[in-house]
Chains A and B, each alone.
Chain A
């Protein structure tokens, strides 16, 4: 939280910070437009576009038919022709029906054309569970998007970060996947934890990709995480502090590019690495971070813990979902095991 400084009198929810950045970019550049399901009249089912249609109208804030293949393909084409589309996947879980457009067109067309076109689009997507929406509407899928080359992948955890990352995403000349966690948006029926609502400057600013943020400094263990679990890790660190364990919380903010340097530096200080992810355990963020640190600084690692979703479809049942999604107690227990 180091950079959000003095004398900002207003707090914003994460959704309002995102919308402020998008509106600012749309005012600045008429090539920027937004399309997705229920983004115009409804304002986004997670408030990701609230108020944009009122200001910019239907030509620039477009509700689209329920065909992710069609409108994500349209966004790729518009981007290649010089526009700057922001296209929203209502739930990241729906990526499968448009996988070719995302994985083979959006991510690769710059390369397939020998650099003759660029694809300056932003793909926004709601991620995350914790509200009993079952296995097809609760996934986080960080690994799926960070895996394929050609797309940048960013994940804000606070309103301040959400605004700066969105400005940077729209201005980037390559495709950016911007994954926002539903539980962080500040919606009435889906209350956020304390933390994502932060002071946000009125003026525009960018947060460069590949710059992880140390949300809490500590000496005994490094917790690397992102999205909702930044706040759960901060809660865990608070509890651990009462027991005399000092945990550092590193918020990745972007998966591609990955700020390995900040992670390694922290682990070289603490000696212990705990990676926390809301995505599945296998072939994902936890394994990748641990491997990256092992590559760079194997000798620094005294202990390693991975806290992630077990490899099961996310249960609809409330107690079962709470069991599989890591909470602050799971994180604190993992940190204690490293000590």
Chain B
């Protein structure tokens, strides 16, 4: 994973304060690999302790890779996808 220089990780930055769990599951992706993305667009929906949270695009660009697909589990700080600005 050395080619990370010009791509931006998509992560859930605002983990819900009241969540007991530090793991979540991806429920829905709203963008597919190869889609062009506007900063701030809702990319996917994740669920943590039965609460749904949207994950937003950190930058304009192309969604080059979805790392955590639908139904995949992830932990705090995990990269869910990559965007090439």
Contact = CB atoms under 8 A, between A and B. Distances in A.
B interface: dominant SS: strand
Contact of B35 (A10, A13, A189): A10
A188 B50 CA distance: 8
A47 B54 CA distance: 13
B84 to A, nearest CB: 15
A295 interface: no
Interface stretch (B2-10, B14-22, B26-34): B26-34
A12 interface: yes
Interface in B41-68: 41, 45, 47, 50, 52
A197 B32 CA distance: 12
Nearest to A200: B30
Interface residues of A, number: 13
A186 interface: yes
A11 interface: yes
A11 B50 contact: no
A188 B45 contact: yes
Contacts of B47: 188-189
B81 interface: no
Interface string A279-311: 000000000000000000000000000000000
Contact of B27 (A9, A12, A186): A186
B30 A188 contact: no
A299 B25 CA distance: 53
Contacts of A16: 30
Interface residues of B, number: 16
B28 A197 contact: yes
A47 B47 CA distance: 14
Given A188-B25, A188-B45, A9 B50 contact: no
A92 to B, nearest CB: 24
A188 B27 contact: yes
A9 B35 CA distance: 6
Nearest to B32: A11
B62 to A, nearest CB: 10
Interface of A: 9-13, 16, 47, 186-189, 191, 197
Interface of B: 25, 27-32, 35-37, 41, 45, 47, 50, 52, 71
8 tightest A-B contacts by CB? A188-B47, A9-B35, A188-B27, A10-B30, A11-B30, A13-B28, A186-B28, A188-B52
Given A188-B47, A197-B28, 11 more contacts: A9-B32, A10-B30, A10-B31, A13-B28, A13-B30, A13-B45, A186-B28, A188-B50, A188-B52, A191-B27, A191-B71
14 contacts: A9-B35, A10-B41, A11-B29, A11-B31, A11-B32, A12-B30, A13-B45, A187-B52, A188-B45, A188-B47, A188-B50, A188-B52, A191-B27, A191-B71
